[in-house]
């Protein structure tokens, strides 16, 4: 299996970067990833204000996927995530939704063992490894790796775990995929501005999503990043306000229900209002990200199968 070194990392999603690797459709490959601080925090004596934030949230890549053309919808399956045995939770004034209450910076090295992240020797939290940053080169200007958007990027949604797949629109040939910012565990919202930030390895496989013969069972056709997981299809919308993000996600969900069900828009609107679930993926990045989920039972079965190699 091809392994891509964490030394090949970017701080912006852009078509201007030369690919660091070329993979085939359907090929499983592995990306090594740094923690979001690029390994600069080596002990609890190193504080967040001490480090060079120019290296923050580096993503390994970009990876060129042969057979992907600009305009294609791709499906990226997360085949597995392996994490290191210790992570970082660094606080500093202003970080997170209660950042004004943090008066001094502090760092906690969090040991990861026996399936738990040990916040203190007496405070274990079950691990749930997930990806914070995954995306493709955007259509226009470069987008910093700390920003979420239609290209993916810093989505910080806890559902980006092994077994999930993400739909992304390729804006350039090869898609130019990059991944990073792993967490041993992170709560919805990442409200404190941090998960257990950790290095590790991610195994991915990319397919090109294709519609089925039955038009009402077509795969996802929206422009927002979307996750396929055990509970259904989750649309990830990022905007300056949570209200705007929810509106974007709900609009795409209504359009998708209309396409799948062949309903008039008004009836699709009614139906989606009854079945959709809305959650907050993150509220601490430059744009906030809302998650609007269409439950599994309301999705066509083909959605969880449709791809070609």
Per residue in 74-130, pLDDT tens?
999 999 999 999 999 999 999 999 999 999 999 999 999 999 999 999 999 999 999
- pLDDT bin (cut points 50, 70, 90) of residue 216 is very low
Residue 208: is its pLDDT beyond 60?
A: yes
Spell 130-159 as b/e; 16+ CB within 10 A means b.
Answer: bbbbbbbbbeeebbebbbbbbbbbbbbbbb
Are the beta carbons of 285 and 239 closer than 8 angstroms?
A: no
Domain of residue 249 covers 215-304
**Structure confidence by residue, pLDDT tens digits, 268-303:** 999 999 999 999 999 999 999 999 999 999 999 888
- Whether residue 196 lies inside any domain: the answer is no
Task: Provide the domain count of the chain.
Answer: 1
In this structure, is residue 206 part of a structural domain? no
Whole-angstrom Cα distance, residue 28 to residue 217?
Answer: 27
> What pLDDT is stored for residue 304 in this prediction?
82
The proportion of the chain whose per-residue pLDDT surpasses 70, expressed as a percent, equals 96
The confidence score (pLDDT) of residue 217 equals 46
Would you say residue 288 lies in a domain?
yes
Tell me what pLDDT residue 303 has: 84
Domain assignment of residue 293, yes or no? yes
Nearest alpha-carbon partner for 178 in 59, 7, 21: 59
pLDDT greater than 50 at residue 62: yes
Pairing state between β 177-183 and 59-66: antiparallel
Distance between CA atoms of 148 and 156, rounded to whole angstroms?
Answer: 8
* Confidence at 221, pLDDT banded by 50, 70, 90: confident
Which residues share a beta bridge with 94?
none
Q: What is the pLDDT of residues 140-195, one digit of tens each?
A: 999 999 999 999 999 999 999 999 999 999 999 999 999 999 999 999 999 999 99
The predicted pLDDT at position 302 comes to 83
* Strand (E) or helix (H) holding 200: strand 200-208
In which band, very low, low, confident or very high, does the pLDDT at 35 lie, cut at 50, 70 and 90? very high
Q: What is the pLDDT of residue 211?
A: 61
Q: What is the model's pLDDT at position 301?
A: 87
User: Does residue 252 form part of some domain?
Assistant: yes
Q: Is residue 222 part of a domain?
A: yes
Measured CA to CA, the distance from residue 138 to residue 254 in angstroms comes to: 25
Question: At residue 239, does pLDDT exceed 70?
Answer: yes
Domain-located, residue 258: yes
Per-residue confidence (pLDDT) for residue 218, from 0 to 100: 58
pTM, full prediction: 0.95
CATH assignment at residue 223: 3.10.28.20
Strand order in the sheet with 2-4: 2-4, 28-33, 200-208, 73-83, 165-169, 226-229, 232-239, 288-295, 277-282
Length of the chain counted residue by residue: 309
| Mean pLDDT, rounded, for 187-213 | 91
Report the mean per-residue pLDDT for the chain.
Answer: 95
| Domain assignment of residue 265, yes or no | yes
Residue 194, CA distances (Å) to 59, 232, 283, 305 in order:
17, 26, 11, 34
Contacts of 159 (CB under 8 A, 6+ apart): 130, 227, 229, 234, 281, 291
Q: Which of 187, 180, 199 is nearest to 58 (CA)?
A: 180
- Rounded to whole angstroms, the Cα distance separating 197 from 42 reads 12
């Amino acid at each position: 299996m091809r392994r891509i070194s964490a030394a090949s990392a970017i701080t912006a999603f852009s078509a201007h970067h030369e690919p660091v690797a070329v993979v085939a459709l359907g090929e499983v490959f592995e990306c090594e990833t740094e923690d979001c601080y690029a390994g600069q925090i080596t002990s609890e004596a190193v504080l967040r204000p001490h480090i060079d934030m120019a290296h923050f949230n580096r993503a390994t890549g970009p990876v060129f996927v042969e057979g992907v053309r600009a305009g294609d919808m791709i499906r990226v399956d997360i085949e597995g995530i392996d994490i290191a045995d210790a992570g970082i939770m660094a606080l500093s004034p202003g970080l997170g939704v209660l950042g004004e209450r943090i008066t001094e910076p502090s760092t906690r090295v969090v040991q990861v063992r026996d399936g738990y992240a040990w916040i203190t020797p007496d405070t274990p939290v079950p691990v749930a490894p997930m990806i914070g940053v995954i995306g493709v080169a955007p259509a226009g200007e470069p987008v910093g790796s700390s920003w979420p958007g239609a290209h993916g990027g810093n989505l910080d949604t806890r559902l980006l775990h092994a077994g999930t797949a993400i739909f992304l629109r390729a804006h350039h040939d090869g898609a130019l995929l990059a991944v990073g910012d792993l967490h041993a565990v992170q709560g919805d919202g990442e409200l404190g501005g941090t998960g257990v930030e950790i290095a590790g390895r991610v195994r991915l496989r990319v397919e090109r999503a294709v519609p089925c013969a039955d038009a009402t069972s077509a795969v996802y056709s929206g422009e927002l990043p979307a996750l396929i997981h055990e509970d259904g299809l989750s649309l990830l919308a990022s905007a300056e306000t949570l209200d705007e993000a929810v509106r974007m996600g709900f609009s795409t969900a209504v359009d998708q229900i209309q396409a799948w069900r062949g309903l008039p828009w008004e009836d699709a609107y009614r139906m989606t209002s009854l079945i959709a679930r809305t959650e907050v993926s993150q509220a601490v990045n430059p744009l906030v990200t809302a998650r609007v989920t269409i439950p599994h039972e309301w999705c066509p079965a083909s959605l969880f199968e449709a791809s070609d190699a």
